[in-house]
Amino acid sequence: MSVGLALLLALGIPTTGALAIALLHRRPNLREAATLTTGALLFADVIYLARETGGGRSPVDVELLELFPGLPLAFSVEPLGLLFALIASGLWIATSLYSIGYMRKLDEKSQTRFYVCFAIAIAATMGIALARNLLTLFLFYELLTLSTYPLVTHHRTEAARRSGRVYLGVLLTTSIGMFLLGLTWTWWRTGTLEFTPGGILAGTVEGRELVVLLAVFAFGTGKAALMPFHRWLPAAMVAPTPVSALLHAVAVVKAGVFTILKIVVYIFGIDLLADTGASIWLMYVAGFTIVAASVVALSKDNLKARLAYSTISQLAYIVLGAALATSAGIIGSGMHMLMHACGKITLFFCAGAIYVTAHKTEISDMRGLGRSMPVTLFAFLIGSLSIIGLPPFGGSWSKWYLLLGTAQADQVILMGVLLVSSLLNVAYLMPIVVRGFFSAPAGDSETATIKEAPAFCLLPLCFTALACLVLFFFADAIRELLTPLVGGG
């Protein structure tokens, strides 16, 4: 198989899978087998791409058609996109397994539509990850928004529809009102939208114009959930937990921060931002989001709401690393995409397992739950420790590189923000574990009947929790993959 064909298959496999799932709607077992098979084939294809391109170092690209003169629909493999493709395709398998247990246990309606939209969303994510230019990325970015809207509104209740309107309203308003503007502006000033090592804006955009253009892209990428364009993310928590996992770890928010990181590296160029100081304001917007979202998380008793604000804070780590425009900051941002994905998906899987078995959503009701669900609560502990950034879990490395990035940029205040944020992570995550393991059970009749979630829910959360540990020992491999982004390979 040629590398070019494998590149196209990364989009074709989940698209074909969506069709197969739809055709098998009357045969649930085969429908779910098709979902898992599609996920496995996609992950194998991305692994093949990684191996054959040397982690994105060997250039390969494919043009499908020319949408406008000089603006093709085109795809390529480079280190950052390859990392994102590995995250999304790998975690799709775990999320699909989890979804089977979750949807069946709760006897959810419209399961075929759920799996079809999930597959289309993954296809859109692959398009974003492997886009060769900004126009291609934008088109798949919009497809991801539209394909996930039915997932957010899955329950079809008034609350779900209201949240869906917020979701769609914020994401489409920011992307069409600002992202598309930034794209057009870049084309007007440079005559190209190709992602180019070192950037394309040097010598063409400078001064205040450079600052404004960066702001248009940063806030236009609403999926990154920078304050004040974050409201859609907590609103979307009305969706089923597997959708929350998709939003927070596999695709949507990661597509947002990936887009900002890719634009910084390949459109602006980190040397241009470092030399001009055009991104200093973005550092402090990200720093404010990190702290403010963590403080709000402390006030939330609903577990998914607390985790949602935690995600807003953690996404801002990645934006901060990009805005620092230093080698360590960029590498730290890329690593945090992966480390946060594994940690946060574990936490959401645990939240869903608790709901499936114990029907509890409020943290105050989870006293003594660890005695009935020890595996789930222990996995939650591991995911929490990785999010906090303690060794030997993967999140410790990404936070370490982000701290190095603030040192390289001489941003002592932002170094303090990262340290304070980790303490806030402890404050809003660890009481959940302590309450679960060390508080006396509520004593109601239901408590005695609570047990671990079904195997299809339990196994994925154990796998992702284990990944939080394993990634600690593979940090060098991830760093080497990302090093070409900063001219180191």
CB 93 within 8 A of CB 40: yes
Average pLDDT of the residues in 225-235: 90
> What is the per-residue pLDDT for 152?
87
Whether residue 185 is predicted with pLDDT greater than 70 in this model: the reply is yes
Q: Which residue has the tokens 């009701």?
A: 365
What are the start-end ranges of the H helices in 194-325? 207-220, 232-235, 241-245, 252-263, 270-276, 280-298, 303-324
Burial of residue 192, with CB atoms counted within 10 A of its CB: 0-12 exposed, 13-18 middle, 19 or more buried: middle
Answering whether pTM is above 0.85, one says yes
Whether residue 130 is predicted with pLDDT greater than 80 in this model: the reply is yes
Nearest one of 134, 252, 149 to 193, comparing CA atoms: 134
The more confidently predicted of residues 69 and 292 is 292
pLDDT tier at 444, thresholds 50, 70, 90: low
CB 138 within 8 A of CB 193: no
CB 273 within 8 A of CB 215: no
Q: How many residues does the chain have?
A: 489
Give the helix/strand (H/E) hosting 74.
strand 71-76
The more confidently predicted of residues 365 and 283 is 283
> What is the per-residue pLDDT for 237?
77
Helix (H, G, I), strand (E, B) or coil at 54: coil
Q: Give the mean pLDDT of the chain.
A: 91
Question: Over the stretch 137-179, which tens digit does the pLDDT of each residue have?
Answer: 999 999 999 999 998 887 788 888 898 899 999 999 999 999 9
Whether residue 297 is predicted with pLDDT greater than 90 in this model: the reply is yes
pLDDT tier at 236, thresholds 50, 70, 90: confident
HSE-CB for 219 with a 13 A CA cutoff: 15
Tokens read off for 339 = 């480390």
Tokens read off for 167 = 């979701």
pLDDT tier at 448, thresholds 50, 70, 90: low
pLDDT tier at 488, thresholds 50, 70, 90: low
Burial of residue 143, with CB atoms counted within 10 A of its CB: 0-12 exposed, 13-18 middle, 19 or more buried: middle
Whether residue 354 is predicted with pLDDT greater than 60 in this model: the reply is yes
The more confidently predicted of residues 234 and 381 is 381
Number of other CB atoms surrounding residue 346 within 10 Å? 30
> What is the per-residue pLDDT for 151?
87
pLDDT tier at 446, thresholds 50, 70, 90: low
Whether residue 41 is predicted with pLDDT greater than 90 in this model: the reply is yes
Whether residue 432 is predicted with pLDDT greater than 70 in this model: the reply is yes
Question: Over the stretch 298-334, which tens digit does the pLDDT of each residue have?
Answer: 999 999 999 999 999 999 999 999 999 999 999 999 9
The more confidently predicted of residues 84 and 2 is 84
Q: What percent of the chain has pLDDT over 70?
A: 98
Q: How far apart are CA 336 and CA 84, in angstroms?
A: 11
Q: How far apart are CA 31 and CA 25, in angstroms?
A: 6
Least confident window among 112-121, 156-165, 273-282, 446-455: 446-455
> What is the per-residue pLDDT for 371?
87
Q: What percent of the chain has pLDDT over 90?
A: 72
